[in-house]
């Protein structure tokens, strides 16, 4: 890639090799059995992938958000479930502790999270609250030196693996009066260790895509945790998480770009070797033009997420760029997976085929980390449009 430093290119190539030799061979069976391979997760930890954007003094690799995105893109080429496991582990599990945790919370949690020895989830989404976080119904009441939490969450990634250590939960902790006199919910984030009495991790979902990713509903029934488990300032829970959401859109854009690239690679190789009426199907102009369009989508998507990630690492505003990157790259993943499936024909409908799994998996890219409609809303607002 033309804009990468030698170190960044080396990282991308290294993760691509790991993806091709370790991740890809187990992907179909993991998808078929809805099983996240903890062996693969452990090897990712040994490679340092979970610590890419964190300082070396914390056990990380001393990299940046660009480095994390490169690793996610490389993995997503062959397995979206593994790629989202890394993205959620870093962006939703570790980053909130790194950014908003107390010294004690960092010392307790970061060493294992950064090394990949432990995972954590972030409990934001509810049945009526996702994009509209103000609709959160989960509550946390401070009783003495304990928070008492009641409510439920859904679609929480990395919440039920054998090495999941905790889930950070958004909850209503009171009310606030705005300057105009109106009242709003006070939202805070609280760390809830797995195994806490009253905290139940429900059975994993039977999903149409990302079937090897660990995703569960959560319920909280008079769950008691120490008051010291408050993460960040009380009442700033969602505000603090907004940056994480914006950064997460860049990570999803990197993942989607990897998907678009993987579909392009598969379609190009197949079109060159699949013969129909005595000639490779790549010799037909329609197939050639379809693959050319796929290449253009990959190129555009990669430019978009690279630009957004560079802005993050330079300390520049990036909200609009993150939304645009997520929008164009998720579209590219959907379109490229559809086109690749069409090029493969009947074989593209078989789950053994990578393009078939990409076709199923890619729809969530237009939904998760803020729907594409939300991205349009963000872009419009950044342009001064209400």
Q: pLDDT tens, position by position, for the chain (386 residues)?
A: 678 999 999 999 999 999 999 999 999 999 999 999 999 999 999 999 999 999 999 999 999 999 999 999 999 999 999 999 999 999 999 999 999 999 999 999 999 999 999 999 999 889 887 767 778 899 999 999 999 999 999 999 999 999 999 999 999 999 887 777 677 789 999 999 999 999 999 999 999 999 999 999 999 999 999 999 999 999 988 787 777 888 999 999 999 999 999 999 999 999 999 999 889 999 999 999 999 999 999 999 999 999 999 999 999 999 999 999 999 999 999 999 999 999 999 999 999 999 999 999 999 999 988 899 999 999 999 999 97
Are residues 264 and 299 in contact, defined by beta-carbon separation less than 8 angstroms? no
Are residues 71 and 15 in contact, defined by beta-carbon separation less than 8 angstroms? yes
pLDDT score, position 26: 97
Question: What is the residue whose two structure tokens read 């890419």?
Answer: 52
Please give the C-alpha separations between residue 293 and each of 86, 135, 286, in angstroms, as whole numbers: 29, 41, 11
Strands 199-201 vs 146-157: parallel, antiparallel or unpaired: unpaired
For 121-164, what is each residue's pLDDT tens digit? 999 889 887 767 778 899 999 999 999 999 999 999 999 999 99
What's the CATH code, domain 239-382? 1.20.140.10
pLDDT score, position 216: 97
Residues carrying an active site annotation: 369
What's the CATH code, domain 120-234? 2.40.110.10
Query: In a 3-state reduction of DSSP, which class is residue 81?
Result: helix
For the whole model, what pTM was predicted?
A: 0.95
pLDDT score, position 174: 92
Could you tell me which CATH class the domain 6-119 is placed in?
mainly alpha
> So where are the chain's domains?
6-119, 120-234, 239-382
């Amino acid at each position: 890639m033309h804009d990468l430093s030698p170190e960044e290119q080396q990282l991308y190539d290294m993760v691509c090799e790991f993806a091709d030799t370790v991740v890809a061979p187990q992907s179909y069976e993991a998808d078929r059995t809805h099983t996240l391979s903890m062996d693969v997760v452990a090897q990712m930890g040994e490679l340092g992938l979970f610590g890419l954007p964190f300082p070396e003094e914390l056990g990380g690799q001393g990299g940046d958000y660009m480095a994390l995105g490169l690793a996610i893109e490389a993995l997503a080429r062959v397995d979206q479930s593994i790629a989202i496991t890394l993205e959620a582990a870093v962006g939703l599990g570790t980053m909130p502790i790194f950014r908003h945790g107390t010294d004690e919370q960092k010392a307790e949690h970061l060493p294992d999270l950064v090394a990949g020895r432990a995972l954590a989830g972030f409990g934001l989404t509810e049945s009526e609250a996702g994009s509209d976080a103000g609709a959160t119904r989960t509550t946390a009441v401070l009783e003495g030196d304990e928070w008492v939490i009641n409510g439920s969450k859904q679609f929480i990634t990395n919440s039920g693996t054998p090495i999941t250590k905790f889930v950070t939960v958004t909850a209503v902790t009171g009310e606030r009066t705005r300057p105009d006199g109106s009242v709003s919910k006070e939202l805070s984030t609280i760390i809830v260790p797995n195994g806490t009495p009253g905290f139940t991790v429900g059975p994993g979902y039977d999903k149409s895509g990302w079937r090897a990713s660990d995703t569960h509903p959560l319920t909280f029934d008079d769950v008691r945790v120490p008051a010291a488990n408050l993460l960040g300032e009380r009442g700033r829970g969602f505000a603090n998480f907004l940056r994480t959401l914006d950064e997460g859109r860049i990570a999803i854009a990197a993942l989607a770009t990897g998907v678009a690239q993987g579909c392009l690679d598969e379609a190009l190789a197949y079109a060159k070797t699949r013969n129909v009426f005595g000639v490779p199907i790549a010799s037909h102009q329609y197939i050639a033009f379809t693959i050319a369009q796929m290449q253009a989508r990959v190129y555009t998507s990669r430019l978009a997420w690279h630009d957004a990630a560079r802005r993050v690492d330079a300390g520049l505003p990036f909200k609009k760029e993150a939304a645009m990157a997520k929008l164009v790259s998720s579209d590219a993943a959907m379109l490229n997976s559809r086109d690749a499936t069409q090029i493969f024909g009947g074989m593209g409908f078989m789950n053994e085929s990578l393009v078939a799994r990409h076709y199923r998996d890619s729809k969530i890219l237009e939904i998760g980390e803020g729907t594409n409609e939300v991205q349009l809303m963000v872009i419009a607002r950044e342009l001064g449009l209400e």
